[in-house]
């Protein structure tokens, strides 16, 4: 809650200063996500700071979503209806079911940095990174690579269709 409030306060400050703002991603803890009132909490904070929902993006881990898939799906649909986009963080490191992944209304997958850091080598994680990119695009999802630190990594990701590098 503190992180969401802090992000909204900062966005409000930038907006009031006349600056162009971009969406800001906030990682949500498993504890916060399972609370039944998360969509309402977000709605209240957004209203308090007069922030459009499109300026907040939530990042959730795949294992968090799989913990209670029916609750996750319901919450994700409520968030989507509010205009809040959700991405799956650290994708590839936890347990996921591709059938659930297709059912969750998320807009992006973030490839975990452990896959990206090995792009300099000719090893399995490289093939996994390109497979995740291809799969995400087939599902209509944006792909974000975390932990890109070298030109070789950046070039590889661009060549394989990764949308955004961090």
Instruction: Tell me the pLDDT tens digit for each residue of 109-162.
Output: 888 888 888 787 565 556 778 888 998 898 889 999 999 998 888 988 998 999
pTM for the full predicted model:
0.77
Q: How far is 34 from 55, CA to CA, in rounded Å?
A: 22
Neighbour tally for 60: CB within 10 Å: 24
**Residue pair 4/38 in contact by the 8 Å Cβ criterion:** no
Computed on alpha carbons and rounded to an integer, the radius of gyration of the chain in Å comes to 17
Q: How far is 62 from 27, CA to CA, in rounded Å?
A: 12
């Amino acid at each position: 809650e503190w992180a969401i409030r802090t992000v909204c306060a900062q966005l409000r400050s930038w907006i009031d200063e006349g600056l162009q703002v971009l969406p800001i991603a906030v990682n949500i803890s498993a504890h916060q996500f399972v609370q039944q009132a998360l969509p309402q909490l977000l709605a209240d904070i957004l209203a308090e700071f007069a922030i459009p929902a499109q300026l907040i993006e939530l990042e959730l881990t795949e294992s968090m979503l799989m913990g209670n898939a029916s609750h996750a799906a319901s919450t994700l649909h409520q968030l989507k209806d509010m205009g809040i986009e959700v991405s799956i963080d650290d994708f590839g490191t936890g347990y996921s079911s591709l059938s659930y992944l297709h059912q969750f209304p998320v807009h992006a997958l973030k490839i975990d940095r452990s896959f990206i850091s090995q792009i300099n080598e000719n090893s399995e994680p490289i093939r996994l990174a390109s497979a995740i990119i291809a799969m995400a695009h087939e599902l209509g999802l944006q792909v974000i690579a975390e932990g890109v630190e070298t030109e070789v990594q950046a070039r590889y990701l661009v060549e394989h269709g990764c949308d955004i590098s961090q």
